[in-house]
Amino acid sequence: MTARPETAAAAPAGEAALAAIHATVAKIPPGRVSSYGEIAMRAGLPGRARLVGKALGKTPDGVELPWFRVLRSDGRIAFPPQSRPYREQRARLLVEGVRVERGRVDLTRYGWDRNLDFALWAPPDEAAAPRKSVVRKAPKKIAGAKAAPAKAKSASAKAKPAAAKAKSAVVDAKSNIRAAAAKPASRAMTASSEAGASAARRSTPRKPR
């Protein structure tokens, strides 16, 4: 007996196909995007990318789907540029942190399960980084830069009294040396003046009485 070949699972059709597409779109996580072809593949409808677009246009009343997370295969928004749906889809993507440049999204970076390593280990987006932390760090650096001259001023202020004391000591020493050198000279002058006076007295003739 030969084994009969396994039959492939039948693709959903009609309302079941639309329901499968809606359920797949609802699973796209925030901050991620997917293409129409990928949604069709996940919904069990390979090659039915156009059907995904039609299904999103037939969303049942009361059902909210993240339709704005579905893009073309090259990452571009399917609506005409500057149209109201285009602006709305772009704004919704930006709110979730998805960067849109000229109507296009980098599927390698923001694609749904496109790059698991990037999703786990990549640094946070620069656009989403808080700016307040940068503003707070700047004053700290400036304050640290101003603290160094203050320390230098305090050190110089402490050095000034010591220099003044040394200078005054030198001045006192010089004055003492000058005073000591002036004493013998003054003594010699007084002695010479006394000797001159006594000699003058002797030379002066006395009047007869």
Domain-located, residue 206: no
Query: How many Å apart are CA 90 and CA 84, to the nearest integer?
Result: 10
Residue 92 near residue 55, CB atoms below 8 Å: no
Domain-located, residue 76: yes
As a whole-number percent, the residues of the chain with pLDDT over 90 amount to: 43
Query: How many Å apart are CA 134 and CA 74, to the nearest integer?
Result: 35
Residue-level length of the chain: 209
Summary mean pLDDT of the chain: 73
Domain-located, residue 207: no
Predicted pLDDT of residue 62: 85
Confidence category of residue 157, pLDDT binned at 50, 70, 90: low
Phi-psi region of 82 (alpha: psi -120 to 50; beta: other; left: phi over 0): left
Domain-located, residue 33: yes
Place of tokens 């789907």: 65
Structure tokens given for 142: 């400036």
Torsion of CA 194, 195, 200, 203, to 10 degrees: 150
Helix 49-57 with 15-26: angle, nearest 10 deg = 90
Residue 50 near residue 36, CB atoms below 8 Å: yes
Domain-located, residue 202: no
- Pick the range with the lowest mean pLDDT from 116-120, 142-146, 171-175, 192-196: 142-146
CATH code of the domain in which 88 resides: 1.10.10.10
Q: What is the mean pLDDT of residues 178-192?
A: 57
pTM over 0.75: no
Predicted pLDDT of residue 10: 65
Domain-located, residue 194: no
Domain-located, residue 102: yes
Domain-located, residue 57: yes
For 34, the enclosing helix (H) or strand (E) is: strand 34-35
Write out the residue range of the structural domain in which residue 42 sits. Answer: 15-121
pLDDT at 125 over 70: no
| pLDDT per position as a tens digit, 68-108 | 999 999 999 999 998 999 999 999 999 999 999 999 999 99
Most confident of the ranges 9-13, 17-21, 181-185: 17-21
Number of domains in the chain: 1
Residue 39 near residue 54, CB atoms below 8 Å: no
